[in-house]
C-alpha cells in the first residue's frame, strides 16, 4: 500500500491540516513535541509504516490515528506494561 493511501474520512486535528493519507499521519506523529510522545505513539507510527508497506491494515491504522488526534491524553496514559519473563516453570508441558 503506498504512502498516498487515503483514509476513509480525513482526520481533522484542532490545529494543523487534515490527515488524509498515511504520509500525512506519519508527518503528524513526527511533528508532535516530545512531551506528547509515548510508547503508544511509537506503536501507532509503526502501524502507519506497516500499513504503507502493505503488512498492516489501513482501517485499524486510521482508527488509531483518530484516537491519537482526538484523545491524546488517553493515549499517553496507555503505556504498555512490561511483560513478565517466562520461566521454565511457567511454560505449559
Give the tens place of pLDDT for each residue, 51-92.
999 888 889 899 989 988 887 665 555 555 454 444 555 445
For 8, 35, 87, 91, the CA distances from 43, given in Å and listed in that order, are 21, 16, 27, 28
The H or E element that residue 59 is part of is helix 58-70
Give the tens place of pLDDT for each residue, 9-62.
999 998 889 999 999 999 999 998 888 788 788 888 999 999 999 888 889 899
For the chain, the distance separating the N- and C-terminal CA atoms, rounded to the nearest angstrom, is 42
Place of cell 493511501: 5
Using alpha carbons, select from 76, 73, 70, 10 the residue that is nearest to residue 42.
76
Amino acid at each position: 500500500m503506498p504512502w498516498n493511501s487515503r483514509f476513509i474520512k480525513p482526520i481533522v486535528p484542532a490545529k494543523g491540516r487534515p490527515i488524509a493519507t498515511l504520509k500525512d499521519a506519519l508527518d503528524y506523529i513526527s511533528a508532535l513535541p516530545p512531551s506528547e510522545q509515548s510508547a503508544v505513539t511509537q506503536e501507532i507510527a509503526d502501524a502507519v509504516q506497516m500499513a504503507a508497506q502493505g503488512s498492516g491494515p489501513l482501517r485499524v491504522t486510521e482508527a488509531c490515528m483518530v484516537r491519537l488526534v482526538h484523545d491524546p491524553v488517553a493515549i499517553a496514559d496507555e503505556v504498555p506494561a512490561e511483560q513478565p519473563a517466562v520461566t521454565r516453570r511457567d511454560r505449559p508441558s
